Chain A
């Protein structure tokens, strides 16, 4: 009896392993980016995985800074031919008005802005976002394409980086020259008095970089043909 029971369990093991693998893959399959060919053969990311709800991203949305989502898309066909594209989504929570200001810049060269009153509306907007990522034109020939999508989440925008750099540099100068009365700027001679200070100011202020706090990678496939694209993929998170 014991032997027959063990044999039964052994026969179930492959099935159980397959079921576990399927269970692990299901959420990833569900979050894969989806692509479609739009007008003028513009490759559009029609389905964007929901990264806004993730723990690494969601708290940053309400920081008051502009969270930048930088998409890099690389399309490779079977012959090794490569096409590159991408897009940018910026989200800033306006603390006074308590609205989410969003801006989208796609590969089509157009910018779209919107104001969303709540996080739910933002998530819904994200789910419905169609981001043009590659102006393929005639280059996206019919056939099977592999699509590598990299998403970098940067906690502040380039403008905020530049503004903080100048503010920090100004603050260092004022610190050396003494307090500056409100409404006045520090005299330029203060910075020029010690040339090495200028070098250090530059070194410090330029040390402010826009590094991503979290990034995601997905791999999809796209079958380009008369019937339109069809893709599938898995997510790899960094």
Chain B
């Protein structure tokens, strides 16, 4: 029974069949009726009546008994005569009932057939339209089939295909976007790295000269830059004991110059770190996939990195993700997935970094919870921070999108994390955010998507 309507139609047909059977049975058993009103039966009853009277005359002692029998026979005879008068009407009633029931049965069967045919045609039409939309490249196509018969299953497959197409398009667009950003980062890093290296070397040479007790006016062609670079680490020039040539004023001037040079060197080092971040973003390695137990991996991560963020407590939820409409379902006993442990660890570190910094040194908890959302294995990372500003949400996963101040971050963490997940054939998405915290959802291919992207 595929639907309540079909069940109702079957029930109606069953009732009609029972009614038909009942009428037919009555018609057969109604033979007694024909027999009862047969003239011979009536004549014999009349004779019996006469016999009772004769018996009463012959046996006056039993007259009362014969009178009772007579009355019973008389009553029966009267009834049969009444029936005989209405024989045609009674038989006609039977025939009418039979005709009505057969007609109702035929009409019900025909109605059920036509209704089913029309309903099925309507469903096929909806399926055809959905397939046409799908073939035209539309995404998020809804067939609206809820039944689980063949058409319903085909509809579900069309919807699933549509969702997969939409997902793949989004992933492709993201990958293309990230690839463009990666290329830009690579070029920026390349353009910055060369002058930064040269500047770092010159500064090292300058610091070496200053430590050697020479004034800036004495600078000629520099010697080995590497030599001066090493010298830059040697401490205060004032401690060398060479105080006789220029006096105290000269020493102070040289110290001041050396400190300025070291400050510039620190800024160059900071630029170098940014360049390194660009480089690491532009040169993300391809994941080396291996099948691992995601639950064990997360537990290991929480144990290893539990003290990495002083303001965070890492918790692996014992209870799986609660099933919600459209949300992931409960995790199976073993949550196996194909992933690169190092890259996935980097993703979790990035997410925890973000949570830690969003808490602004306040205490918080990051909770890991496993689940499934076929064909995905899902890992949810939830914090109890203050949520993400709606202004950032549209560009949340784009590179350089950050709410932090200048110099406090490049805004590459989420972009890199998503790129890693996309390279896994999965995705990273923000499941929900509110004033009570944010939940990120890591989607990793399940058993059906183990191939490397």
Residues of A that sit less than 8 Å from B by CB: 63-65, 95-96, 155-156, 160-161, 163-164, 167-168, 172, 175, 194, 196-197, 200, 203-204, 207-209, 211, 213
Contacts and interface: CB of A to CB of B under 8 A. Distances in A.
B49 A204 contact: no
Interface string B122-152: 0000000000000000000000000000000
Interface string B82-117: 110110011011101100000000000000000000
7 contacts: A64-B81, A65-B78, A156-B81, A160-B82, A196-B22, A200-B22, A209-B86
A156 B84 CA distance: 12
Contacts of A200: 22-23, 26, 97
B167 interface: no
Nearest to B77: A64
B2 interface: no
B434 to A, nearest CB: 59
Interface core residue of A96, A161, A167, A175 (most chain B CB under 10 Å): A96
Nearest to B79: A164
Contacts of B15: 196
Interface residues of B, number: 28
Name B's interface SS: helix
B74 A175 contact: no
A212 to B, nearest CB: 10
Given A64-B81, A96-B53, A207 B89 contact: yes
Contacts, number: 70
A211 B22 contact: no
A117 to B, nearest CB: 16
B22 A209 contact: no
B93 A207 contact: yes
A105 B37 CA distance: 32
Going nearest first, the 7 A-B pairs with the smallest beta carbon separation are A207-B93, A164-B82, A207-B89, A208-B86, A196-B19, A164-B79, A207-B90
Interface in B4-27: 15, 18-19, 22-23, 26
B29 A175 contact: yes
A202 B53 CA distance: 37
Nearest to B71: A96
Interface core residue of A63, A95, A160, A203 (most chain B CB under 10 Å): A95
Contact of B70 (A96, A161, A164, A194): A96
Nearest to B86: A208
A163 B82 CA distance: 10
